[in-house]
Chains A and B, each alone.
Chain A
Amino acid sequence: MSLPADGPREPTSPGPASHGSAVTVRGLVKRYGTTTALDGVDLDVPAASVVALLGPNGAGKTTTVEICTGFRRADAGEVRVLGIDPAGAPDALRARIGVMPQGGGAYPGVRAAEMLRLVATCSAHPLDVDELIEVLGLGSCARTPYKRLSGGQQQRLALACAVVGRPELVFLDEPTAGMDPQARRLVWELVESLRRDGVAVLLTTHLMEEAEALADDVVIVDHGRVVAHGSPAELTTTGDSQELRFRARAGMDVTELAAALPTGYQAAEPAAGRYVVQGRIDPPVLSAVTSWCAAQGALADDVRITRRSLEDVFLDLTGRELRS
């Protein structure tokens, strides 16, 4: 798509937030009865950057977004969104931001273009509604009532509603939930384009792949606390974050293998004939592993060095048991 609905674009003057932080959150606390949903969360979204709030269900992601968009009031802590206190001046804030609430939202009987046109009317300089409908692949279901759209189609409409008003800052609460891989790709492209055009984005997700692909910064939350934050690269390369996997004859003594390596390295045989060595994998270590195999009369085959994924980091931090 090309131009906004109201003709050629003027150069936009950078607002106050363009230089600093789009979102600043310090010591955010929120309780529901006896449950503490947020327990001192700090969060920064620099201007024109994408920050992913990553965490399991119930970690406090949605509550954080709802406080930042003025839908809930914090019990303690400081929140500034584009320099505005969301609880104090929600109307002033919402004229400058775009929000995709979890699960979207529309009249049950409304058609996609009708809904998007209404949301566009709420903004002074909206994008062209018909073009946005087409580019998001909603043209084919333009006459279908909202309640009969698929989950992915509803999500795309919700996304369109979040960006149609040309906001400075966009909140996306689980933007790709229920989408097929093609639609997810489209959303990723859109988020990428938002950042390119100078829009800051705070998105929540429990998909590591999504956070890793999109975000400049990832904030991992669990039980209402920030358990880690940094760029995807920082999060995945700290500590013993690499591993070496190879195949060889089953049943070799992994304790002996570990002993052949410098201290701190771990070796294991998670499945018969498949070995994994964890630690910083450098040429001497690789050489030591293959030599040790040769000494056992085995050939180390299918040798791969992998970076620890964000998923591994996430599961290490938040535990592996299922959450209800």
Chain B
Amino acid sequence: MTASAPVPGRFAPGTFSPRPGRGGLGRMLAAQSALELKLALRNGEQVLLTLLIPIVLLVGLTLVGVIDLPEPRVNAVFASVLALAVMSTAFTGQAIAFGFDRRYGVVRRLAATALPRWLLVAGRLVAVLGTVVVQVVVLGLIALALGWRPDGGVATALLLVLLGCAAFGGLGLLLGGTLRAEIVLALANVVWFVLLLGGGIVVPLATLPSGLAAVAALLPSGALAEGLRIALAGADGSLLQPVLVLVAWAVVGGVAAARLVRLT
């Protein structure tokens, strides 16, 4: 040390005396997911995607008959919009947020703390689930106001929503964790739009052209929306195929994400 070094004044002696140690796992998980949830609800584009567009579609498609649906229309629309909400949050919103979080170095920043890597991923997923809870509550209240009456299908629907989160969540992490932020932004929005119209979300599989319907039934969007229509709107069909499709996508997306996602 050279003799001309500044005499420390701002930091009292002992301020930095080492006292290392890892924080509590539960507190870390709660702090990370609460912050990510707060950031998602504070971000205008995210709120547009996760709440405003689903709300507009829920109200609009219920009141305006642009798509042929069985009565009461609100049941089928609510099922479609729940599927959209899950896709918007777990896939599109998460992929974009993850892409830009990586760009801004937050993933590496947090990995450099005592936060274990599995907790880093868990925190993101809990934040996604938190957003989905907000969506389900808000959309459910609006659906009630539009005349939807819950029945025994609600429990099944909630299970499907969880499966949808797993399927779309793995794919969202995979997309957001492997490509450059701008490309993630473009791709995640394009995929969202294509699946919204042609992937079995707002237009039921039965109404889609048959070739497209066969493909859509094997996509997470078609499987989740169709499953929700069976559970909530009494649509014909077995839940077995939608559940198997969602589980398969969750496994494929999860394994691929675990192998391919990069932190930087």
Contacts and interface: CB of A to CB of B under 8 A. Distances in A.
Interface of A: 1-2, 4, 9-10, 12, 15, 50, 69, 71, 91, 94-97, 99, 101, 103-110, 114, 117-119, 121-127, 135, 146-147, 158, 161, 163, 165-168, 185-186, 188-190, 192-194, 196-199, 212-214, 216, 232
B28 interface: yes
A106 B116 contact: no
A94 B104 contact: no
B15 A91 contact: no
Interface string B17-35: 1111111100110011001
Contacts of A135: 10-11
Interface of B: 1-2, 4-6, 8-24, 27-28, 31-32, 35-36, 38-39, 42-43, 100-101, 103-117
- Can you list the 10 inter-chain pairs with the closest CB atoms, starting with the nearest? A105-B105, A105-B109, A124-B21, A193-B11, A99-B112, A122-B113, A95-B114, A197-B16, A95-B22, A121-B31
A99 B108 CA distance: 10
27 contacts: A1-B11, A2-B12, A9-B17, A12-B17, A12-B19, A71-B111, A71-B112, A95-B22, A96-B21, A97-B20, A101-B105, A108-B101, A114-B35, A118-B35, A122-B114, A123-B20, A123-B21, A124-B20, A166-B16, A166-B17, A166-B18, A168-B20, A189-B6, A190-B11, A193-B15, A198-B18, A212-B2
Nearest to B8: A193
Given A107-B106, A108-B101, A1 B10 contact: yes
Contact of A232 (B2, B16, B18, B36): B2
B101 A107 contact: yes
B230 to A, nearest CB: 38
Given A122-B114, A193-B8, A2 B108 contact: no
Contacts of A101: 105, 108-109, 112
Contact of A197 (B13, B43, B105, B106): B13
Main secondary structure on B side of the interface with A: loop
B101 A122 contact: no
B16 A104 contact: no
Contact of B19 (A103, A109, A161, A166): A166
A69 B116 CA distance: 14
A197 B17 contact: yes
B60 to A, nearest CB: 29
B113 A119 contact: yes
B48 to A, nearest CB: 15
Contact of A189 (B8, B12, B28): B8
Contacts of A212: 2
Given A121-B23, A232-B2, A1 B15 contact: yes
A163 B16 CA distance: 8
Contacts of B24: 124
Nearest to B35: A118
B108 A167 contact: no
B104 A199 contact: no
B256 to A, nearest CB: 22
A121 B27 contact: yes
A167 B18 contact: yes
Contact of B35 (A50, A107, A127, A147): A107
A124 B107 CA distance: 21
Nearest to B29: A121
A107 B153 CA distance: 39
A213 to B, nearest CB: 6
B262 to A, nearest CB: 12
A96 B116 contact: no
A168 B23 contact: no
A147 B1 CA distance: 36
Nearest to B43: A109
Nearest to A99: B112
Given A95-B22, A99-B112, A193-B11, 4 more contacts: A1-B15, A69-B112, A186-B10, A199-B16
Contact of B6 (A1, A103, A158, A188): A188
A196 B16 CA distance: 9
A194 B28 contact: no
A105 B115 CA distance: 15
B18 A15 contact: yes
B104 A108 contact: yes
B31 A117 contact: yes
Contacts of A146: 104
Most chain A CB within a 10 A radius of its CB, from B4, B10, B32, B113: B113
B11 A165 contact: no
Nearest to A120: B23
Contacts of A193: 8, 10-11, 15-16
Nearest to A17: B18
A105 to B, nearest CB: 3
B28 to A, nearest CB: 6
Nearest to A212: B2
A35 B42 CA distance: 44
A118 B31 contact: yes
Contacts of B39: 107, 109-110
A117 B111 CA distance: 15
Count chain B CB atoms within 10 A of each CB in A97, A165, A216 and give the residue with the most: A165
Nearest to A128: B15
A176 B9 CA distance: 19
